[in-house]
Amino acid sequence: MKRRTFISLMSVMAAAGVLTLSGCSSNSSSASTTASGAASADSAAADQLAAIQANGKLIVALEGAWQPWSYHDESDTLVGYDVEVSRAIAEKLGVEPEYVESDWDSLFAGLDAGRYDMVCNGVEVTDERALTYDFTTPYGYIHTALAVKKDNDDIKTFEDLKGKTTANSLASTYMELAESYGATVQGIDTLEETIQLLTAGRIDATLNADVSFYDYLNVHPDADFKIVAQTEEASHVAIPLRKADASATLLEAVNNAIDELRADGTLKELSEKYFGQDISSEN
């Protein structure tokens, strides 16, 4: 429509009293802004992998105090299965890993807030977590074990936890499992602290990954605790990603990296290095 014709039509409509200042231009602007915002959000998700590669770094969150998953060795160097797996994934993505250490219950809050690109911390896949996060292909398979003091003959199964006290990281699967069997759970940050409470008789039992207990006993063969039970089915250990990010190419890229690391034997090698056995395979 030519400008002159448009002005004439406006005059006629105004004279007829049918033209109202109802904010049409404002609504149009609002709709445009909304559409632009939605497009930007979609673009941000689609570009998450590109952003990581452009920055040249992958921000990985972990505890740094859960041997042999992630911990500091005698020279205070951050090492462990999760450290080396995430470093190998970063290499496959063509970037360098940058590690952020935090307590277990803070890891997911940081991921939700976008402070980290991923959490690589022996995270077990659960139905509840899958509602919030998209998980990668598993890079580990573990069983949850139940440990008590050597002289404790009252607790032999998970069912015996009813009315007993345990200690585990807040919001961990170990805490949830203990509570499901009727135990009262004390929140604690590290496996070392938990075992200290157990051997001092301040708690009745504790739950953790079987491989973590075995590793601890290898380092401390005289530790005053024993494993009395473990879950029959193996839990899948994978990397949680924010769904907005995972819906794009990041999830696919990390999955491809894990598949390649499994195929070339890297996961098996790292498993045997830190656990004394291959936890990268379910069989």
Q: Judging by beta carbons within 10 Å of its beta carbon (0-12, 13-18, 19+), is residue 269 exposed, middle or buried?
A: middle
265 domain residue, yes or no: yes
pLDDT at 28: 41
- The structure's pTM equals 0.75
Domain that holds residue 163: 144-232
List CB contacts of 117: < 8 A, sequence separation 6 or more: 48, 52, 58, 59, 60, 241, 245, 250
Asked if residue 210 has pLDDT above 70, the reply is yes
Q: Is 146 helix (H, G, I), strand (E, B) or coil?
A: strand
Mean per-residue pLDDT, 137-164: 97
76 and 136 both lie in a single domain? yes
Dihedral sign (CA 124, 108, 208, 205): negative
Mean per-residue pLDDT, 56-69: 95
Per-residue H/E/C for 169-223:
CCCCHHHHHHHHCCCEEEECCCHHHHHHHHHCCCCCEEEEEHHHHHHHHHHCCCC
The single-letter DSSP state of residue 124 is: B
242 and 221 both lie in a single domain? no
pLDDT at 245: 60
6 domain residue, yes or no: no
pLDDT at 186: 94
pLDDT at 8: 37
pLDDT at 78: 98
| CATH at 161 | 3.40.190.10
170 and 97 both lie in a single domain? no
pLDDT digits (tens, 9 = 90+) for 94-129: 999 999 999 988 999 999 999 999 999 999 999 999
pLDDT digits (tens, 9 = 90+) for 6-53: 333 333 344 334 333 333 333 444 444 434 333 444 444 457 899 999
121 and 257 both lie in a single domain? yes
84 and 160 both lie in a single domain? no
